[in-house]
Structure 1
């Protein structure tokens, strides 16, 4: 929402403005300071401020000299520059020598700034962001400068605290929590602080040493007094220390080691929630950053943490009980649809996903909402309502607090106070304001229940899958349990029961902690309730049980599925469709994350979005953390491979698009792998040189052959790769451990293979086959462009030229890619003796059939080739995939000398289109070959997802096979 409107001062409130004006004029006359030079706009703003805020009217009268000076400074009408508030307070404190002076100066400065901030807020000279920022900057300046004033004087009295291990002097670290940590303070907010110090030890330089903790405890007490104590000048900020470990009963200040130990061993869910917004607001900022890094694993878990939902739900229930007990339904912070519910929504996503999605590790709520929209966690219309509703509530909060500089979020009962709030919020009357407020509270509460609601609903008697609880818990007699499973539709109820009993009685479950067992007992009835909705329920249960067993000890995944019934539904659908997917999810449960968003699951991104998403993920990881980088790459591949498979089953991706996406995925990963390998190799050995002596950047390409080259990757395909460089083989690199160019690029290639093939906890990226490089397994791992050209032109076999037809640069230097394309075009476009070419292609195909085809049917050429009892190998048998590929390759090699367009593309479908366009093959034959090729590949994909070999009964595709074979023979191939 935009700023609340300015409305005319209601007649009933005009006396407030007149009273404030009269008091100011009287004080100004006493001081001999006139207000004659004030413009009309300032008097109007002053009237509005007096109507809105008793604090402004009283402060202007009590310290008229200070107020008039503030007005003359022009600061009422302008935004303060970054750092200006701190600079001003430093100047005010420059001459302070006593603690009493410190206390008085801080309070007077605070009152001046509070008046300025309220003035600008109620006159709509500042928006919500500026008001919150100014209040938070004021708190930061007061906290840190008070500490900086107290610390050296404390050291003079007690000595300098020194670390026992490091021997270094110690400073306190002051963490601001909650709204202060997020730069979101309201007009009369208290501040939540936690004090820490790096290292245990004692003070040095005083007659009697103190333990560091005692030193900082005394210092902390003085700092709290400087900020919190109420004097004749008021207070600076009400200071709340109850968020520290052990609360009010705990030590006021703890060492880093003690803080880490507490949060690791005893930290509670609400403390994770609080720590999201923790920020260093005073003391040693460098050490403070180190403390936050130490505590980060407590806040953000590396796995998906849906237990956070349970914790937030419990916290909300406690708040609701307190609201009911104290009659606080009109509290716009804690009541239904209040500020806290928006915060809970944002922080639920942060706690669940923030360990893996680093973009969510933010403090300001509005920025978190923007990330939730941008990353697809929440739809844009939902975020818009949450954002606008939150702003309305925060403006209302400021209106309530501006009146008396009092911390309140309760709507007033008094008619005059109601009129003041409505006026500040830009409404003509209380009824109109209340109507708008109710609208936003209802929308926020609705969205809150969509995110935080208990999946069982509010009625505890209606537990999802409750009818299956006795069976799972083992309280049913066995024959009764078998009967219940049979009546539900299981074909083998005794087998299903045994699967459940084996899990329940297995060592993993019996050794689970109480919380994990409770989560499993809550999940299993839900699982059974959804399983029996499937036609193939026996198969579904068989496939999903290994996953349950795999995650039983990591019960956060069970919470994920319990909290998200839609994700469980999609899991069972995928397990029913494919044992390969079921096995993959059981092996890598982190893939359950992908089931949360149905729209995203069935809509894989386009190539540019894929590449951008992976780049963004990796930029959030420190450059020196190779382990995390490798895990991120593998998780990315697993997640997007699952999305492609799910989309294929759902029918949202046709076959050709499946291969496109899998190929784009490989290219995005190879691009980042090359970047990582290049950076690492250059860091070790320096940059290699070109022939002209300039730096390579990187003058290296990864060439894809076979399926990846032909944009035809399938599920689980390996990568046929060749590495080519165009650097100076002899020139040394310029690093600490120099290598000649050949050795450097060999190391680079080895590094790439290592990154691709190393097994981590998330598996490996790809199997890599390098045998298509010049001279095969006996050749150099990386070839120079010139050596590659010489080999292809002088030494390569015909089958290697066939392979070159499907070769293309996947990633790397555009300059070297152009060189490779020129070599490829020259080699493939040379004139050939057709009879010789036919013989060589036929001979190679015959060898392949003999070695790889189905022996029982003579590779599909025997009399029993179409017998239903015999298998047909979709790839290797006669009339299958390889026959089509060989025909395309033969045609391209035979005719590209005269028709160079035949080698423009590397995929079979477009080469066939070229053959048709050039009238080299009849259009009907081209269409048949394309249909056969797509049909075979579709069957191969389906079989792969069923974990079955690429074979079908011999009577399938009979007509297509005969026609493919006819075209083969008509081309003169044997």
Structure 2
């Protein structure tokens, strides 16, 4: 052969996927000579091999022993392609054919179809000469014949698998065929075992043939064998059930003794080391009591064990149980007897956490060196899919028999159809599971050995990629690189882990699992009585709402039927379950067929329970959620319940102004922002994401942005372009000025303008028009915003708006002490920045006098006394009034403000409109003790929380702590007390207020 010819051959071999070019070129030449097939034809067919170097070496080795069968195969078009595929993917089959060259001819007819279960069972029985349950002989020869026959069957399955146009899709059929083959092998081995224990040839216990014939041995497939999802080389999990033929005169002990020896010999025929290597491990450790338990039990003994002693994991294992081999009727009786127990197991106390803990233990036992390479046990591996699917089945299968199936992929389809898992997640899980199983199959084919580890060298990864058939659309080529398979593996692993974590650990599973047996039946008198018993006041209406939500065969109705029993229980744990259910129905109807809504409630960590808590515990939230139903999505993440910053909201409001030029359109959108953000804050407050300071700051920010946007829109409409030199501003006062507003609080403000170049009377008219239009613009019947200007000079009697000069003149000549006190909480809010600055400079001169007048201090004290006596509503217990009552907000704020009025002129740290910040500064200035400051702060915080909680609960504003225990309990729950804490929250307020009042009385009148 010339050098150019040799180079051409090497180039062709490289393109076909060969790596050892020189050695393989020589092997191709030898194979051509032994088989009589042209070198070019061999190199062309070799393109389909995952490992063409290994394939040619296997073909040459077999041909050296017996060239005839190799010649027959390689001269046949289909046979040649099949041979290259099988031997290129499996050195194990190369070794098998080296031991038995004649069976290479099996490749002539392999690949087109999968062998069916009956054909495999017949073929393997014939291999041992089975007649009436007994083999023709026993011992090594019989077992070797069985194993050779099994491997011939296995090679035909592999040929079909490796030839499939879509190997990922073919995985399910291949796994099913492998499971049937295992059952056939066990049947044939059992026949040998019967013969073995009936003779003296093996030195085993000898039993009369008729006794052996009378004993039944049912072999129940567990795990993958039971689910018809077996691998090429995998432990076959079994449970043995012993029995006897009707009328047989055998004692129970005889039955156990004979069936135990039958089981042992059956396992030996499959798993022991003989001339022909073992097939796989027969694993009976899933039997009652595991390795410590009897290998074989009677059906009655099995049932008694499961009824009394079985652990939760054993029922999970029984989910896959199937009559696999031996006496089918006896094995099926075992499956039928244990099946009801399987579907009741999830109601056991702690079942779901125990399954979750078991999955974690599996992960914990993986060696560190293998964790990242584990296809089966590692994060994102097969076990993540299988555990997730099994847990969903066991939980929902309690009440829904449509999901009671063995196979993982079948179960996924059913869980998806019934709405227990989303379509996208189910589709991803199913595809990823097939890919993981395909990778596992190809790895096991290489040596016909049990393995679940991804290779860690590039050459083996390249061979694996080519063997999968996933990366080259050309059916005449095995393509793919190491990088291809690694990227796919990493993507699948990440996707599987993400879905597993979301579904496997979702709280709804635990809740569904612990439902009572009748919880899923939500109609009829029993349901009516049960709803009334758990707390629904109008059970008849509740049933009507439930029916509207769950009626029909749509996917939406199916998911609602799954959610409803659990959510009803959570609604019932709330303060007002009837309202909660009504609000939930309205929100569900508003969202219609939005796919994310029910999917999130079903899959999200705690979203469903949070929603029931909100709706049954807060009318304020419920009413707003009806207007903004998409807010349910925020429950999927605490981050979405955190307040938006001023900058973010202001930018959104400014964008609205640009898009919507009219005042009406702009304010409709701004009101929408305000409602949305108030709802976000309310939800965050109730579910515990936000503190009281977060809440007051958030509501203040929302109000600031609303007023700024409204003022901008109103000015644009009221003031013509030629008079835009007029400046207008809004000053926050009272609790709003202190950035301490709660839900339902008034918005105290002052209005100020500066005429600029505008004639004075026209400027005043513009200013009044701005105020009037502003109040109209922000008006919102759903969540009112009351712009209260009563803290302006002269109160209600004074003009609603003044120029800056008029304010200056008034404060310099006429101002009284309460007006200076009111300015202590003044804060710039909206409008012209220069005007805001100038007003605040003026306010500082008034509110922070260098030397407070004794008369002013005395007047403030006198007014406070009048407020207590004159403003308390009639018929209200003063101790329950959170604002004006003893130790309430008024006591704390007036005390702090009086200290500020007296000392802030000389102490800049006291100059703040915020009560708590001022209180801290008062303590730092040694004007109150630490204990006094803590006591006042505690009362102020609790009163603020109680006021907001009352508004959230009822949807109405009130300053009075309710006397109704139901309302008090609702307030307590919003404040994160446990259920039934009405008396506790009442007592805490009265106790805290009493302490604050003592501090007030000890200090206020001595200043």
- In the superposition, the TM-score normalised over structure 1's length comes to 0.47
Between structures 1 and 2, the one with greater helix share: 2
